[in-house]
Amino acid sequence: MISTDATCAGTAATPKDFKSPLKPIWCPGCGDYGVLNALYRALAAIGRPPHEIAFVSGIGCSSRIPGYTTAYGFNTVHGRALPIAQGIKLANPELLVLVAGGDGDGFSIGGGHVPHAIRRNADLTYIVMDNQVYGLTKGQVSPTSPRGTRARSSVYGSMESPVNPLLYTLAYGAGFVAQGIPGDLDGLAAIIEEGIRYPGFAFINVQSPCVSFGEPDNQVKVQRTRMRKLAAEGHDPSNRLRAIELAQDYGQELYTGVFYRNPNPPPTHGSQVKALQDERKALKAGAPPALSETDNHPTCC
Ligand SMILES: Cc1ncc(C[n+]2csc(CCOP(=O)(O)OP(=O)(O)O)c2C)c(N)n1
Ligand code: SF4
């Protein structure tokens, strides 16, 4: 295991340092394996020891991911990873806080939490393993399933338009929005590392195929042939309007890389809370002593 003070001692961390003894029980070929491997690499590059990392998830196949790392993990409640992660970050701002889950967890039951984490600019990295299906509960349509998807819960085909996670987060003002695929491990590891380094709310949508209930034309091998790297297309990630334009192709084009990185990141929620606390402390230190019990209750009344 990585030394608890590896970064101070100058010992380089390796992906293995973040691998827990627990063996993943995902189906063979599940995209989530690739996400986990990319994450190991990203954490090694960041170099923070596992005890300085809190990894929070909701419920779902993808939400098992914290247990496969050596970070402190919390496999919480369906759809509630973001509020719990925000609480952890507020209570201990020094921690590196990662959040993960599925598209159902994040954009169905938990969809109402995403805008608030974004508008607060909570300093979290949120990784959604978007397989366009509810995997754990055996293949119902999810909020990102394409219209017409036939599943156990929609035998005649889904009649709803899918949620677009890229547009959703960009529209609410997320400072970092990216997308990756597990078949491009190097690219995904680089995106996760960049998201972690971004000072503020970072959203990473991973098109992580479900081999058991997902669409056959959206599996790892097919994705590799379909992916279009934004960097190779000459996209400038500081251009938010262009990012929004590109994000509209979600479900049609498989863009990978950083859609948007705010070149002037606004203050994080934590830094604003800290500034307020410091201001209150200074005021208190300079303020006249509080009135005593007797002063507050004069004997005349
Ligand atoms: C409050 C609540 N409602 C419903 C469920 C049942 N449930 C567990 S996981 C899940 C959806 C899983 O899909 P997703 O979040 O996309 O993750 P995946 O399994 O595909 O990785 C549901 C509906 C639950 N555990 N708790
Ligand atoms: S059911 Fe799908 S999402 Fe769940 S482990 Fe299997 S392949 Fe992965």
Q: Which amino acid is at 157?
A: G
Per the domain annotation, does 64 fall within a domain? yes
Cα 283 to Cα 276, 277, 289: the distances in Å are: 11, 10, 11
Residue among 234, 210, 235, 233 nearest 223 (CA): 210
Per the domain annotation, does 35 fall within a domain? yes
Per the domain annotation, does 233 fall within a domain? yes
Per the domain annotation, does 295 fall within a domain? no
Separation CA 262–CA 198 (nearest Å): 9
* CATH code where residue 68 lies: 3.40.50.970
Q: Which residue has the tokens 């299906």?
A: 133
Q: For residue 73, what is the enclosing H or E element?
A: strand 72-75
Cα 163 to Cα 48, 129, 144, 179: the distances in Å are: 34, 14, 5, 15
Give counts: helices (H), strands (E), the chain.
11, 10
164-184 residues labelled b (16+ CB within 10 A) or e (exposed): bbbbbbbeeebbbbbbbbbbb
Per the domain annotation, does 1 fall within a domain? no
Q: What's the number of domains the chain is made of?
A: 1
Per the domain annotation, does 297 fall within a domain? no
What pLDDT, on a 0 to 100 scale, did the predictor assign at position 282?
Answer: 95
Separation CA 57–CA 146 (nearest Å): 25
Give the ligand 2 atom nearest the CA of 136: 4
Ligand 1: centre distance to CA 61 (Å):
8
Per the domain annotation, does 300 fall within a domain? no
Give the ligand 2 atom nearest the CA of 138: 1
Ligand 1 pocket test, candidate residues 126, 127, 132, 134, most atoms within 8 A of CB: 134
Q: Can you give the pLDDT of all 301 residues of the chain as single tens digits? A: 344 434 434 579 999 999 999 999 999 999 999 999 999 999 999 999 999 999 999 999 999 999 999 999 999 999 999 999 999 999 999 999 999 999 999 999 999 999 999 999 999 999 999 999 999 999 999 999 999 999 888 999 999 999 999 999 999 999 999 999 999 999 999 999 999 999 999 999 999 999 999 998 889 999 999 999 999 999 999 999 999 999 999 999 999 999 999 999 999 999 999 999 999 999 999 876 555 544 444 444 3
Pocket around ligand 2 at a 6 A CB cut-off: 26-27, 30, 32, 61, 131, 135-136, 210-213
Ligand 1: centre distance to CA 215 (Å):
19
Ligand 2 pocket test, candidate residues 131, 137, 138, 144, most atoms within 8 A of CB: 131
- Look up the domain containing 101 and give its range: 16-290
pTM: 0.93
Per the domain annotation, does 277 fall within a domain? yes
Give the ligand 1 atom nearest the CA of 103: 16
Separation CA 243–CA 78 (nearest Å): 30
